[in-house]
Amino acid sequence: MPEIARLQSVATAVPPHVIGQRDAAEAARGGFAARYDDFGRLARVFESSGIRKRHLVRPLDWYLAPLGWAERNAVYLEAAGALFHEAATRALEGAGLRAADVDTVVTVSSTGVATPSLDARAADQIGFRADLERVPVFGMGCAGGVSGMALGARLAVSRPGTNVLVVAVELCTTAFRLDKLTKENIVATALFADGAAACVLRAGGAGGIAAVEMAGQHTWPDTLDVMGWAVDDEGLGVIFDRAIPPFAEARLAPAIDAILGRGGLRRADVDRYACHPGGAKVITALERALSLEQGSLDHEREVLADYGNMSAPTVLFVLERVIAAGLPPRTLLTAMGPGFTASGVALRTAA
């Protein structure tokens, strides 16, 4: 019988600075309104976002000062490294492991550039072994948490008995841009936040929280413009060239059917979806696309309200809450990200 990867733990971490959504709206008004005639109309997204508060890696004043790419990335290296350490340590503790027990680490991040990668920078402090296999993953954006878990599961199966640590760290707020007077930049300012999440996977033996039953991706053709980063001297600039909620509502279900079908499953076999909560409208679109009762993605709305959209780690914040509430027999993690790509991982509760 082929080995299967089992999820051993999930943990999350957020930076110390917190901002309420009303305060964020006022700060954005002060930064944009006098220079952008359409700000008043677009500012309604702060109220309709479904967000109460968010966590930031720097105090609010830092974001209101002139910043270049070098300054932003320096903060990324420092703060992402700290969040990596915190999330990884908590996940290892949850799995009853030490850092020296980790054989492979998958590091997912798309909001800064780190060469050497974040795992290498954290290695000595956290206590990784010298023969650790490092697998940095860049460019998956919001789909990175699900795709990272899928990759980690495959690596675990390839070497049964080894421990695979997956860490997703995103500092979306380092890309806040006062110089970009665009609709997508205002929306990003209203939605994005910072955070990290980690999980441990191992193949061989029983136990754990759940078994990774199958995983897959679906990339739609001619969709490179849906989501991504533009890079200039000031830093990263968000690309939203199509409205994501109607795209998801119209096109997600066939993609999920295809992903599940490759594992011999159907949507009727899924007891609970754990979705990346990109925004309030995205959550509603997901419920419609997947033929769910409106309001059923309750943990997604709670995570969005408490943390905002942290990109890749966010779906693992949702999974953490689903686990705390009691995993049903089969849960499908799903997220969409640049490409434009849907990623899915099916979890079966451990026997």
Point out the residues that are catalytic: 142
Distances (CA, A) of 277 to 257, 306, 335: 20, 11, 8
Q: What does the block give as tokens for 22?
A: 């009303």
- The secondary structure of residue 78, as a DSSP letter, is H
Other residues' Cβ atoms within 10 Å of the Cβ of residue 112? 23
Sign of the torsion angle spanned by Cα atoms 226, 232, 234, 235: positive
Tell me the sheet residues that pair with 347.
212, 331
- Are 83 and 121 contacting, i.e. CB atoms less than 8 angstroms apart? no
CA proximity to 317, closest of 331, 334, 303, 335: 303
DSSP string, 125-166: HHT--TT-EEEEE-S-GGGHHHHHHHHHHHHHHHSTT-EEEE
How many other C-beta atoms lie within 10 A of the C-beta of residue 55? 20
Q: How far is CA 303 from CA 145, 148, 317, in A?
A: 15, 20, 7
